[in-house]
């Protein structure tokens, strides 16, 4: 069934012993009720990991963080969620770090210089390089002339192992909703048939505006691919701030989502 822990090294349905072993590996480190599964490898061979509820059943949602390595705070927020919400209390899966090479190198791109959020085989994908703002740039300097962070979209759509692995994970889990966690635009962007109550709840909890675009084209973005495939998605962007302030503002709404009827069954 979708949502069951499977292993890339042991294809098919995991045995009870394998599930117990995986769960014990993360229990006792502030986590409860979560199993960890390797769903692929990065360009540099780092394990791509997803945290799944220990019990069997369909997935209500998938939260993906740190698709851009320069957005390390999103990985820390995802980790805090894993610590605060027991895997027994949710039907959400969590990818804490979708781009481990970028996170380790402190770069937006993966090890091949590709912006993973421009590499998905969406109808919007294009071959042109993209330019984004350097991480940490002041708001008043976010003007076109300062878009100096060069990224490749990849040699072709879906060229990167991280992209391929995330697509395969979505297709395996078949989540009803995907939340793509980013920074620093401070907004909620629903894509597709997202229940309005969920969008409004996230917006109210963190006092975030609901928008219908991020202010510019993002060809080959993850949320474009989700839209093309009929999977509702939310781009959730936090602001530039320290971790305590980000946790205080954003964890209540995100935690409520994972614990809600949408998250628990």
Identify the residue whose tokens are 């505006």: 209
So where are the chain's domains?
Answer: 16-264
Q: What does the mean pLDDT of the chain come to?
A: 88
Give per-residue burial for 55-94: e unless 16+ CB within 10 Å, then b: eeeebbbbbbbbbbbbbbbbbebbbbbbebbbbebbbbbb
Is residue 132 over pLDDT 90? Answer: no
What is residue 37's three-state secondary structure?
Answer: strand
Is residue 13 over pLDDT 60? Answer: no
Section 233-259 average pLDDT: 97
pLDDT of residue 11: 35
CATH superfamily of 16-264: Zn peptidases (3.40.630.10)
Q: Global pTM?
A: 0.89
Is residue 123 over pLDDT 80? Answer: yes
pLDDT of residue 261: 64
């Amino acid at each position: 069934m979708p949502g069951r822990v499977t292993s890339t090294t042991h294809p098919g349905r995991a045995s009870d012993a394998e599930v117990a072993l995986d769960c014990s590996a993360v229990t006792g480190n502030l986590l409860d009720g979560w199993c960890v599964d390797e769903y692929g490898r990065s360009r540099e061979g780092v394990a791509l990991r997803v945290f799944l509820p220990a019990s069997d059943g369909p997935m209500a949602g998938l939260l993906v963080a740190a698709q851009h390595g320069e957005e390390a705070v999103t990985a820390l927020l995802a980790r805090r969620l894993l610590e605060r919400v027991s895997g027994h209390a949710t039907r959400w899966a969590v990818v804490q770090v979708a781009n481990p090479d970028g996170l380790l190198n402190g770069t937006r791109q993966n090890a091949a210089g590709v912006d993973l959020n421009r590499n998905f085989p969406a109808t919007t994908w294009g071959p042109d390089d993209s330019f984004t703002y350097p991480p940490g740039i002041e708001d008043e300097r976010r003007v076109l002339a300062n878009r100096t962070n060069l990224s490749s979209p990849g040699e072709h759509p879906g060229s990167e192992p991280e992209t391929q692995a995330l697509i395969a994970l979505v297709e395996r889990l078949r989540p009803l909703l995907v939340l793509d966690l980013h920074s620093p635009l401070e907004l909620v962007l629903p894509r597709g048939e997202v229940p309005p109550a969920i969008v409004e709840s996230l917006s109210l909890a963190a006092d975030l505006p609901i928008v219908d675009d991020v202010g510019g084209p993002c060809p080959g973005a993850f949320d474009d691919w989700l839209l093309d495939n009929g999977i509702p998605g939310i781009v959730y962007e936090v602001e530039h701030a320290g971790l305590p302030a980000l946790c205080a503002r954003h964890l209540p709404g995100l935690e409520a989502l994972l614990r809600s009827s949408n998250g628990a069954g």
